[in-house]
């Protein structure tokens, strides 16, 4: 949350930047069909609403503007989520309506002021607004920010956000803030044998290293003219059902002794399944 000097109608001479963490379904609700919903929110609130790009399970929604515009944007988002909850309950046997939930992303250096001494500040916000407020104990991955979860009615959430903004303005962040950036989802790769592995391009360095450690061993190795079968993968007495013509050369395979009548013997030694199969008919 970054304050800058700007005159606003709400009495605070600041403009704010507040970041929200949302799941893909929530982002889809905010964007709307062909972007109509988010466009309407921008026009009616006067706030700038930007949504992070990328194929990620979570997205960052950044809201920037004067305090009055920020509060209008939050109100529109909260009421939209409540509308989604009501619509989802029409086909559900549930009788009690779940609360609206928003997740703010706040620099960890400001969370102490938000909680207050002995939890006094966060307790005060809960009691005065009726909203549930929870500050995550751990920082978000690869960042110096924490998630602050607000749950309740849209009215309670709006009042709670106002109080959080006041606290954040009174206690600016200390030091540099490393913002949280959601990572793209790893796309699985399915091999012909049914094996599933993470996409190496989307995997982290650690996962990629682990992936490489479990690559299948080669079925055979080349030594000069000959293909020598790997002892852990091929047993000459029990050829696999998939590869009835083992990928080894005649001189190295007791099941297929060298053919002295071959026109290229002794210089020709087949080293691939195709060559082994083909040479049997020469």
For residue 145, pLDDT beyond 90? yes
Provide mean pLDDT across the span 103-117.
96
The answer to whether residues 169 and 14 touch, using CB atoms and an 8 Å cutoff, is: yes
Start-end of H helices in the chain: 24-31, 36-45, 67-89, 108-115, 120-129, 154-170, 205-213, 273-279
pLDDT tens readout for residues 221-263:
555 555 555 555 444 444 444 445 444 444 445 554 555 555 5
pLDDT tens readout for residues 26-74:
999 999 999 999 999 999 999 999 999 878 899 999 999 999 999 999 9
Mean pLDDT (the chain) is 76
Contacts of 50 (CB under 8 A, 6+ apart): 61, 62, 64
> What's the predicted TM-score (pTM) here?
0.63
Give how far the C-alpha of residue 145 lies from the chain's centroid of Cα atoms, to the nearest Å: 17
pLDDT band at 210 (very low <50, low <70, confident <90, very high): very low
Crossing angle of helices 120-129 and 108-115, rounded to 10°: 70
* pLDDT for residue 109: 95
């Amino acid at each position: 949350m970054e304050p800058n000097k700007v005159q606003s109608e709400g009495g605070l001479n600041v403009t704010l930047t507040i970041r929200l963490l949302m799941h893909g379904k929530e982002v889809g609700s905010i964007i709307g069909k062909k972007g109509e919903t988010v466009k309407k929110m921008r026009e009616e609130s006067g706030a700038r609403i930007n949504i992070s790009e990328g194929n990620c399970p979570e997205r960052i929604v950044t809201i920037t503007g004067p305090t009055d515009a920020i509060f209008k944007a939050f109100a529109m988002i909260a009421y939209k989520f409540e509308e989604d909850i009501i619509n989802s309950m029409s086909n559900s046997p549930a009788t009690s309506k779940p609360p609206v939930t928003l997740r703010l992303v706040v620099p960890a250096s400001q969370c102490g002021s938000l909680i207050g001494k002995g939890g006094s500040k966060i307790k005060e916000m809960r009691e005065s607004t009726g909203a549930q407020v929870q500050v995550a104990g751990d920082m978000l991955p690869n960042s110096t920010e924490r998630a602050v979860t607000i749950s309740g009615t849209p009215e309670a959430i709006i009042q709670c956000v106002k109080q959080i903004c006041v606290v954040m303005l009174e206690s600016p962040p200390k030091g540099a803030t490393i913002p949280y950036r959601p990572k793209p989802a790893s796309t699985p790769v399915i091999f012909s044998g049914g094996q599933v592995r993470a996409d190496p391009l989307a995997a982290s360095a650690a996962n990629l290293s682990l992936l490489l450690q479990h690559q299948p061993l080669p079925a055979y190795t080349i030594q000069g003219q000959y293909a020598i079968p790997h002892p852990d993968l091929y047993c000459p007495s029990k050829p696999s059902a998939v590869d009835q013509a083992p990928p080894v050369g005649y001189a190295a395979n007791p099941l297929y002794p060298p053919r002295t009548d071959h026109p290229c013997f002794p210089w020709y030694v087949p080293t691939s399944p195709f060559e082994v199969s083909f040479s049997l008919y020469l």
